[in-house]
Amino acid sequence: MNKLTNYIKASMEEMKKVTWPSKKETYSYTTLVIGISLSVAAFLGILDFIFNTSIKFIINK
């Protein structure tokens, strides 16, 4: 039990040293991640459509 108590105390001390991002930073980073994710999804969707159409064209030729 002593090891667990020491671990929890050490963890709490480390958490006091953490510099947390502000709400504005969190919002901007979240927006950036969502934007990049949607862009990559759209790009991969377009590539999938192009390859799928090409394969169908080759098979039906």
The model carries a pTM of: 0.67
Give me the pLDDT at residue 54, please.
Answer: 96
pLDDT tens digits, one per residue of 11-59? 999 999 999 999 999 999 999 999 999 999 999 999 999 999 999 999 9
Domain ranges of the chain: 21-61
Give me the pLDDT at residue 61, please.
Answer: 78
Give the alpha-carbon dihedral of 35, 37, 39, 43, to 10 degrees. 180
Amino acid at 26: T
Amino acid at 57: F
Contact call for residues 49 and 42 (beta carbons, < 8 A): no
Pairwise pLDDT comparison (58 vs 61), residue with the higher score: 58
C-alpha 39/C-alpha 28 separation (Å) is: 16
Amino acid at 51: F
